[in-house]
Chains A and B, each alone.
Chain A
Amino acid sequence: MDKNSNAYTFIFAIIMVVVVAAILAFTSTSLQEKQNANVRQEKKQNILYTVGVDSVMVDGEKQELTRPLAEANFDKYIKKMVALNKDGAVAEDVDAFKIDLAKELKKPIEEQVFPLYEAEVQGETYYIIPIRGKGLWGAIWGYISLKNDVNTVKGVIFDHKSETPGLGAEITKAWFEERFSDERIFDSSGNLVGVSVVKGYGGGNDKEDNAVNAISGATVTGDGVSDMIEERLSHYLPYFKKQENFKVAVK
């Protein structure tokens, strides 16, 4: 057959596309379950990290919290998962763990649901709030956990889609995340301000100023972190105000 004829070209193209599509479809479906399990386990691992659970006891030995271990121990620490409406009421029919913040953020605020996790670690209760916002190149997200005064940050964990390695991507590093622990999310007059990432921060170890030091070269990503913390937390205020057993420092 003439290799330069139209018929040959078409047949070749068709066969190639079918073969390639079949290979890709097969790989995708056969690996799908494993990929989803990785994502689910990582989510549980991240949630546990924010409340300081980074190792668990396995057969009397302390072991680092790997993804499979996070899955196995998740229910031991997370006591309650609820989805909230904008007015602070609990949406009973929504599975909080399955809420996809990326999809929620596209809806108008009134229709969004806000997941809230309650954890108990060594007798202390913590509240974990998933956060999500925009970095420089794409989405950034993470979890922030609050102590039971709903003011002091216990821990944070961040992740990103496509921030620059060495610059914006550094928000995922422990040394940056540690700056947030014990910071307050309410200012001294009781307004919710979140924790701001500030360039040229001079506050040293001051935990009451609602600010932490930024990463040099990652200004936009840092602003994104500040914005998402403040924006997401503000939607939980109505719920926190309703809880009478909370010692919330709000006006």
Chain B
Amino acid sequence: MAKENNTQEKVSSKEEAKKKEMILFLSNSEEKEHFLSKQNRKLLSDPLNDDNPITVQVLGICSALAITVQLEPAIVMSIAVMAVMAFSNMIVSMIRNLIPSRIRIIVQLVIVAALVILVDQILKAYAYDVSKQLSVFVGLIITNCIVMGRLEAFALGNGVYKSLLDGIGNAAGYGFILIVVAFFRELLGSGKLFGYEVLGHKGVTVAESSGLYALGYENNGLMLLSPMALIIVGIIIWIQRSRNRKLIEEA
């Protein structure tokens, strides 16, 4: 009799702990872990390297094509994606135990869309110039596969803090590729970096030009077109996989 009571108590205390966990949105295991433990650091660093969202998970290619003609929009876009991903991962992870699984995709979509609209509205009011520069791309964050992909794959099954790190890490991995691609496209396509003419000034004729252009150098107009972004991403994937052979899938 006494034994039975004991087990019942154990069960109820377990349930209580679980309830508490749901209310506080924290899992016990997380509380004990140091907040920058090796495992958590891996959440941040993996997407930059062996688990990169673009080159390994192959997510978010669409926006990598569209906004990598120049460095500046690429950087602003990366920051905006990072903000949206960090918050959406956090919010979804907070309510992950409440979301009915049948409508979870819709719930995620609503949360991401609401966040994007919030970002857009705040930018329009307080950072008007930035918002004008990003124009349609802010809205396009909603359709960025990385956001939904990470919500499905990570935030739904992990704690709040870990999800936050995962969001920031994946956005950083995405931003890193974006910036590398934009660097080469702006440099080779228009001979500029951040709008500055680093390769010299291109005049109408060779005689009027300075720097490399005076030697007869020409910009590669192909770099300005979207297909070149794919080719550069392809080259990055090639370099990454030749350095790290375990990423190569078996044919």
Binding site for B on A (CB under 8 A): 3-4, 8-9, 12-13, 16-17, 20, 23-24, 27-28, 31, 34-35, 38, 42, 67, 159, 161-162, 164-167, 204, 213, 216-217
Contact = CB atoms under 8 A, between A and B. Distances in A.
Interface residues of B, number: 36
B122 A24 contact: no
A4 B136 contact: no
22 contacts: A3-B100, A9-B100, A9-B103, A12-B99, A12-B103, A13-B103, A20-B111, A24-B114, A24-B117, A28-B121, A31-B122, A31-B124, A35-B125, A38-B124, A162-B135, A165-B67, A165-B70, A165-B73, A166-B224, A204-B204, A216-B224, A217-B224
Given A12-B100, A27-B118, A167 B69 contact: yes
A23 B117 CA distance: 11
Interface string B90-119: 000000001111110011001100100110
A213 B203 CA distance: 12
B121 A27 contact: yes
Given A38-B125, A162-B136, A166-B224, 10 more contacts: A3-B100, A4-B101, A9-B100, A16-B107, A20-B114, A27-B122, A31-B125, A38-B124, A165-B70, A213-B204
Contacts of B124: 31, 35, 38
A31 B110 contact: no
Q: Which 6 A-B pairs have the closest CB atoms?
A: A166-B69, A31-B125, A34-B125, A9-B100, A38-B128, A162-B136
Contacts of A35: 121, 124-125, 128
Contact of B189 (A17, A28, A166): A166
A202 B177 CA distance: 39
Contacts of B98: 3, 12
A12 B111 CA distance: 13
A31 B122 CA distance: 7
Contacts of A12: 98-100, 103, 107
A166 B186 contact: yes
Nearest to B74: A165
Interface centre among A166, A167, A213 (most CB of B within 10 A): A166
A164 B69 contact: yes
A20 B126 CA distance: 22
A17 B113 CA distance: 12
Contacts of A13: 103, 106-107
A182 to B, nearest CB: 17
Interface in B116-171: 117-118, 121-122, 124-126, 128, 132-133, 135-136
A42 B126 CA distance: 14
Contacts of A67: 128
Nearest to A3: B100
B69 A23 contact: no
Contacts of A167: 69, 224
B69 A165 contact: yes
Interface centre among B103, B122, B135, B221 (most CB of A within 10 A): B135
Contacts of A16: 107, 110
Given A20-B110, A24-B114, A166 B121 contact: no
A42 B128 contact: yes
Contacts of B69: 164-167
B135 A161 contact: yes
B129 to A, nearest CB: 9
B190 interface: yes
A216 B225 CA distance: 11
B71 to A, nearest CB: 10
A164 B99 CA distance: 39
B204 A4 contact: no
A27 B189 CA distance: 40
A34 B126 contact: yes
Contact of A17 (B110, B118, B125, B186): B110
A152 to B, nearest CB: 23
A166 B118 contact: no
B142 to A, nearest CB: 14
A165 B224 CA distance: 10
A4 B122 contact: no
Contacts of A38: 124-125, 128
Contacts of A20: 110-111, 114
Contacts of B110: 16-17, 20
Contact of A23 (B100, B114, B221, B224): B114
Contacts of B128: 35, 38, 42, 67
Contacts of B100: 3-4, 8-9, 12
A4 B122 CA distance: 36
